[in-house]
Amino acid sequence: MEIKGKQDKLRTKNPANPLKKQEDKPKKLVYYVGLHGTLAVFDRWGNMGDIGEPIEKMKKRVLAWIKEGIIIKIFTARASDPETTSLIRKWLFLNGFMLDMEITNILGEDCDMIFSDKAREVIFNTGIVVSRTNEFKTGE
């Protein structure tokens, strides 16, 4: 397949993903961070607004990323409800996070990394799941 006139304009952001175009000015990194089980302790299902205590190790990591200029987006299925989103925003404020952090349940094209207890690393364009615990079989 040939793309006429576009070859010179295509610059890759990541050699592992040549389909992503890089803007002329440096793009800020965007990390999506899961809420329950990643940034906040999750021990039971309750009301949609029930959010556990912050996980200190992840809280420190997220605050350090923010200082470095990395954009953090809170990623949770509960963001589909505006009332719950306002409760999450209140939790973020009470636990020392910025009020203007985006809270979403939609993974955007701007995503550079996902941090979630549910995520597993997959090697780009291979279908190979990277696992430290061999919980997945690869290729049977």
Query: Which pLDDT score is estimated for 54?
Result: 95
H-helix segments, 47-140: 56-67, 82-94
Residue range 97-106, pLDDT digits in tens: 987 899 999 9
Query: Which pLDDT score is estimated for 50?
Result: 80
Query: Which pLDDT score is estimated for 55?
Result: 96
Residue 11 has pLDDT above 50, yes or no: no
Domains of the chain: 26-130 (3.40.50.1000)
How far are the Cα atoms of 42, 53, 107, 116, 132 from residue 77, in angstroms, in the given order?
14, 18, 11, 12, 26
Residue 23 in 3-state DSSP? coil
Mean pLDDT value of segment 100-122: 93
Residue range 20-53, pLDDT digits in tens: 555 567 789 999 999 999 999 998 766 656 899 9
Mean pLDDT value of segment 94-122: 92
Q: In degrees rounded to 5, what are phi and psi of residue 7? A: -55, -45
Query: Which pLDDT score is estimated for 39?
Result: 96
